[in-house]
Structure 1
Amino acid sequence: MHIDRIHHVAYRCKDARQTVEWYGKYLNMNFILAIAEDQVPSTKAPDPYMHVFLDAGQGNVLAFFEIPASPPMGRDINTPAWVQHIAFKVDSEATLREVMQRLQADGIEVVGITDHTIFKSIYFFDPNGHRVELAADCATPEQLQRLDAVKWDMLEEWSRTRRAPRHAAWMHADEFSEQAH
């Protein structure tokens, strides 16, 4: 089997219209499709829903379900809020700054710009409480090669110890130097 691409990623939303408008306004995503049913096709459960689809660029689709008959949205209290998120690639740090200013101008809290060495990111929450990341790649071929060379060793060490391996500690060192190699 070969997976061609992700067909769509779906999240729950509190209000389908608000979600469509928010993603259009802040992330320039076009509203491309809506499906609504009184019964879930896969399970046959009687659970009315509105399913909206947004164009996330290059064939990527972000979808949301509004399911008003279900209990209010919550989140896994055992998982930190920063863990579950969706990240979108943008073209540059300048774009990160532009979007950050637009969000902040409307009172939306933004974390960043965070320098991850191989990309820079900003983080914020959508109106449903989902964490969103915008990331601009800035890796050099050498950096990517270094990370590729240690990925299996890192995974093996983590699997044994459940402690962060230091193979790529250079990525978040305060100062990149030859000693960090």
Structure 2
Amino acid sequence: MKIDRIHHVAYRCKDAKETVEWYVKHLNMDFVLAIAEDQVPSTKAPDPYMHVFLDAGQGNVLAFFELPNAPAMGRDANTPEWVQHIAFKIGSLDMLEATKERLQAAGVEVLGPTDHTIFKSIYFFDPNGHRLELCADVGTPRMHKDLDEVKWDMLNEWAQTKRAPKHAAWMHDREFKALD
């Protein structure tokens, strides 16, 4: 068996309508489906919910559940805020900058662009507190080839030492970036 693609990823939201409207307005996603039930189909637990689905491009679907009878949303206090996030690929650096300006004009606090060598990103939060990232690819074929060649060595070293391997330290070398 080989996975075809992600069917959908689902997160919790505070307010389904507000969430849909925010993603439509700020990320230009299409609202594609709503499902509401009084009982969870998989567990049969009596727990009413609204489940909404948004088109995240190329068959990718981002979904949210509003759970009115559940305790207030929280997050894992043991995981740093920057770790759990949803990253979306966009078409260009110009689009990244324009989106940043548009988000800021709408009152959304935006961090970045951050240079990750093979892509540049901006970061911000949706109305539910989910961290979002927009990425514009800038990597060269050589960069991707070099990273591909060391991925297993890096992972194996990390598994043994729990220290950041230096196989791809070139990603932070300004002189290398200028040459590539």
TM-score using structure 2 length: 0.96
User: In the alignment, does 2:90 pair up with 1:90?
Assistant: yes
- 1:171 Cα offset (Å): 1.1
Correspondence for 1:36: 36
Correspondence for 2:125: 125
Q: Deviations over 1:62-116 (max 9, x none)?
A: 0000001000000000000000001000000111111111111122111100111
User: In the alignment, does 2:152 pair up with 1:177?
Assistant: no
Identical residues among aligned pairs (%): 73
Note the residue ranges of structure 1 that are not aligned, 5 or more in a row.
none
Corresponding residue pairs, total: 178
Correspondence for 2:24: 24
Alignment of 1:6-155 (within 5 A): 6-155=6-155
- 1:176 Cα offset (Å): 2.7
Q: Distance in 1 between matches of 2:168 and 2:91?
A: 25
Q: Deviations over 1:33-52 (max 9, x none)?
A: 00000000001111100000
Q: Distance in 1 between matches of 2:47 and 2:98?
A: 40
Aligned-residue CA RMSD (Å): 1.2
40-49 vs 164-173, which moves further = 164-173
Note the residue ranges of structure 2 that are not aligned, 5 or more in a row.
none
- 1:177 Cα offset (Å): 3.3
Q: Which amino acid aligns with 2:12?
A: R
Q: SS in structure 2 opposite 1:112?
A: strand
